[in-house]
Amino acid sequence: MEFNTKIALPEAFKADCVAVGVFAEGALTASARRIDSITRGAVRAAMASGDMTGARGTSLLLRQLPGVASSRVLLVGLGTPAEFGDRAYGEAVRTAVKGAGPGSGSLAIAASEWQVKGRDPRWHASMLVVSAREVPFRADELKSKKDDAPTRLARLHLLLDKRDAAIDKGLAEGRAIANGVDLAKRLGNLPANICTPEFLAQQARKLQRDWGIGVQVLDRGQIEALKMGAFLSVAKGSDQPPRLIVAKYQGAGRGRFADPIALVGKGITFDSGGISIKPAAEMDEMKFDMCGAASVLGTLRAVAELKLKVNVVGVIPACENLPSGRANKPGDIVTSMSGQTIEVLNTDAEGRLILCDALTYVQRFKPSAVVDIATLTGAIIVALGSVRSGLFSPDDELAAELLEAAGQAADRAWRLPVEDDYQDQLKSNFADMANIGIRGNAGSIVAACFLARFTKGMRWAHLDVAGTAFRGGSAKGATGRPVPLLTHFLLSRAGA
């Protein structure tokens, strides 16, 4: 889908369809008013008839209106002006794209009138692209007969009354974010028999070819040489060999790779729970346990496309968590790369075991900040559902930056505490720490506290995306979150 801007009035620009907004309770946008007066009341007639109420999420396609260059006019319901916020805006854009009709290849959209209070033109343009691009996404790569496309829209024209460089900037940002989101969704949706640790490594190598990102992939021998005993203990239960993927984007100057921001993504390509095996129901969804890793790759792609002036290192520990004769057993004690020993009381708390070694590893880059992204705990779904990701950080400044980025990206997060009082739960009689706390007792916070033990001396934050990175049920699929949040964080770090 291509996006561009056009200086034109809605009735004069010829596309296959032109979309104009109408509010609930009868208020029309300026464009809808123009079309209404040119057509001697076609818009108000549609509303008077009850066919179009202006309610959020509704639309009405009118055809062959006299005096209008486009053969279709789509009325898009915006809801009441008072409730027109981030969500309503995204919904209106998706409604317009869906409503343009299967015959439309191009859509002109008078969306500059769809104003969310407090948001600037750049934000509106970026969000328009990200929202519009959600509509045509299909997970039919592995279907021999492809799903029906809801739209064959190839071109979206933003109708404006004057040029605005901020809008072009927003469109470019939206495009890069949408591309990153699509990559994260695609990788997330692929099954574990295809999306293996080595497959993820290949995807990183593809980023190297396409975007000049420096990629290094460490195999089991090299991971052993680093003494990543916690990561290796999870990996050894599976016949798929582990990979440690290191991807460097150097946008801040050519010299030394200095002060990068480190993104560490959980790359469990399948989480059966291991010997502490999970119940059978919905276990297929544990193919999504690499969505943190996918979001790191998606964000790197977005950042490279935007040529952001910032250095980023993505680190992905990737392996499977399976039961076998070689798998971790409850009670096993492993030695992490940091030297700290861990009693594995539950083999299903594997994410923190692979992340702790990756977090120790990133210290060598002297990162200005480290953010790990992980589908870490079921408990975060109990706390925040699928609306907000869990954000944990002992660093108030970094937490505030990430929350600001989450707000800008409409990819929301909520901060939860990482406090020493919760550390008591990780006491072990036999090792430096256990890998689980008390069942049903602040599980997401305790998991973050575990990671905190490996991030001393770094500015670190943790995003628990178990509730937001994918959906279950009939809409099952990866969401691409938190690529928008992370990209906005890096945009702001790059001063862009």
Catalytic (active-site) positions: 278, 352
216, β-bridge pairs: 246
d(CA 77, CA 60): 8
Q: Cβ closer to ligand BES: 99 or 242?
A: 242
Residue 233 CB, shortest distance to ligand BES, in Å, is 14
Residue 476 CB, shortest distance to ligand BES, in Å, is 12
- Interface characters, 340-359, with Mn ion (x: CB under 5 A): --------x-x---------
Residue 472 CB, shortest distance to ligand BES, in Å, is 8
From candidates 273, 351, 443, 467, binder to Zn ion by CB under 5 A: 351
Site for Zn ion in 279-318 (CB under 5 A): 289
396, β-bridge pairs: none
From residue 75, give the alpha-carbon distance in Å to each of 113, 202, 230: 13, 45, 57
When CB distances are held under 5 to 8 angstroms depending on the partner's kind, the choice from ligand BES, Zn ion, Mn ion, none that residue 433 binds is: none
Q: Is 271 in the site for Mn ion (CB under 5 A)?
A: yes
d(CA 119, CA 115): 8
How many amino acids of this chain bind Mn ion (CB under 5 A)?
3
The residue range among 112-120, 168-176, 349-357, 432-440 that interacts with Zn ion, by the rule CB under 5 A, is 349-357
d(CA 143, CA 30): 44
When CB distances are held under 5 to 8 angstroms depending on the partner's kind, the choice from Zn ion, Mn ion, ligand BES, none that residue 405 binds is: none
Secondary structure (DSSP) of 59-76:
EEEEE--TT-SSSEEEEE
d(CA 467, CA 480): 12
Contacts of 217 (CB under 8 A, 6+ apart): 201, 204, 205, 243, 244, 245, 246
Closest-CB residue for Mn ion?
348
Q: Cβ closer to Mn ion: 286 or 410?
A: 286
Three-class DSSP category at 42: helix
Secondary structure (DSSP) of 166-220:
HHHHHHHHHHHHHHHHHHHHHHHHS-TTTS-HHHHHHHHHHHHHHH--EEEEE-H
Q: Is 271 in the site for Zn ion (CB under 5 A)?
A: yes
Q: Cβ closer to Zn ion: 78 or 232?
A: 232
Q: Is 411 in the site for Zn ion (CB under 5 A)?
A: no
When CB distances are held under 5 to 8 angstroms depending on the partner's kind, the choice from Mn ion, Zn ion, ligand BES, none that residue 377 binds is: ligand BES
Residue 91 CB, shortest distance to ligand BES, in Å, is 26
List residues binding Mn ion (CB under 5 A): 271, 348, 350
List residues binding Zn ion (CB under 5 A): 268, 271, 289, 351
